[in-house]
Structure 1
Amino acid sequence: MKKIKLTRANKSITLKALAPYYYQQRALGHNTEKTGRLILKINALPADKKATFSTEEIRLMCTTVNQLRNERLAKGQYTDAADDMLLKLF
């Protein structure tokens, strides 16, 4: 378990990263319960408050935010918000 403070920008970037992963897993017929619960948990958090996340939740956030970051880099887009979120997760 680890406490992470999510700013508005970090909350937004994490939700943007998790949503495509959720829909991809759903389309493949995989279980989306954990991802869905994580999305709801993050969405319900007030900005700039610390929340406790399990190791599995942090791993999922790291993976999806890194995927979003790499997609943006490949398109030549701005990645500072994704980089900031990844630093908070480690």
Structure 2
Amino acid sequence: MRKIKLTRANKIILLKALGDYYYLQRAVNTDWRETRYLILKVDSLSAGKKTVFTSEEIHLARTAVNQLRNKKIQQGQYTDATDDMMLKLI
């Protein structure tokens, strides 16, 4: 378990990444319930407060954010904010 402080910008990036990952999981009918739970947890957080995440939640968030980052790179978009979010999760 680890405490992570999410700024408003990082919270938005994480929710976008988890949302995209959730719909991908639903489309291929894989285990999407953990992602849904994490989306609800992150959405209910107040920005700027530290929250405890399990190692499984951090791994899931890291996977989702990395997928969003790779998607942005393929589209030729900047990834500075996404990279900042990745550093929070590592």
TM-score when normalising by structure 1: 0.95
Q: Which residue of structure 1 lines up, in the alignment, with residue 26 of structure 2? A: 26
Q: How many residues align?
A: 90
The sequence identity of aligned pairs, in percent, is: 60
- Alpha-carbon separation, structure 2, partners of 1:7 and 1:29: 32
Q: Which residue of structure 1 lines up, in the alignment, with residue 85 of structure 2? A: 85
Specify the code of the residue in structure 2 equivalent to 1:8. R
Q: Which residue of structure 1 lines up, in the alignment, with residue 43 of structure 2? A: 43
Q: Which residue of structure 1 lines up, in the alignment, with residue 63 of structure 2? A: 63
TM-superposed CA distance for 1:7, in Å, is 0.3
Q: Which residue of structure 2 lines up, in the alignment, with residue 8 of structure 1? A: 8
Q: Deviations over 1:28-84 (max 9, x none)?
A: 222321110100000000000000000010001111101111111111112111100
The runs of at least 4 aligned residues of structure 1 exceeding 6 Å deviation read: none
- Alpha-carbon separation, structure 2, partners of 1:5 and 1:71: 25
Specify the code of the residue in structure 1 equivalent to 2:84. D
Please, which moves more after superposition, 61-70 or 25-34?
A: 25-34
Please, which moves more after superposition, 41-50 or 18-27?
A: 18-27
TM-score when normalising by structure 2: 0.95
